[in-house]
Amino acid sequence: MPGWLKALLIATVVVVLLIVAVIGVLVGAGFYGWKAAMRAGNEAAALQNMKTIAAVEIQYFNNHKRTFGTADQLVKEALLNIRFSGDPPHVDGYVFTLTVTPGTKSQPASYLLNADPETETSGKNHFYLDSTDATIHVNSTRPASATDPPFGR
């Protein structure tokens, strides 16, 4: 094989390898961006779902003798979508835990709502909301509670 043909073959192989490497880097960056976008979308959906549940709980409370409803009761009454069925419901990459406490003579009825990522890839932040305050609290490392900072502040 002539020397110039050998050099051309080597140059072609090097160019092809460089193109494959560049494509690999672009695909990797795109995948990372896609995962970040999915997490952000799941978190936005979780926040909206929490606001919806809070609004539905107020409606249920006013129509059911000052009691709050469980997720199954809210679904049964068609106040929440069937996606919220289950114990606990898994919706849009988050696990929703709704804890309802019936009222007594000394304590009014109340509820606590947590939304926690199903996995590390489905969301980063944990959210909390309760019946005493319409503020959503956030924690990035563990399930959120009323003592965590409000979301967006």
Which tens digit of pLDDT belongs to each residue from 37-95?
Answer: 889 999 999 999 999 999 999 999 999 999 999 999 999 999 999 999 888 999 999 99
Mean pLDDT of the chain: 90
Omega prior to 108 cis, within 30 of 0: no
- Which 3 state secondary structure label does DSSP give 39? helix
pLDDT confidence tier of residue 13, bands split at 50, 70 and 90: confident
Q: Which two tokens stand for residue 118?
A: 């199903």
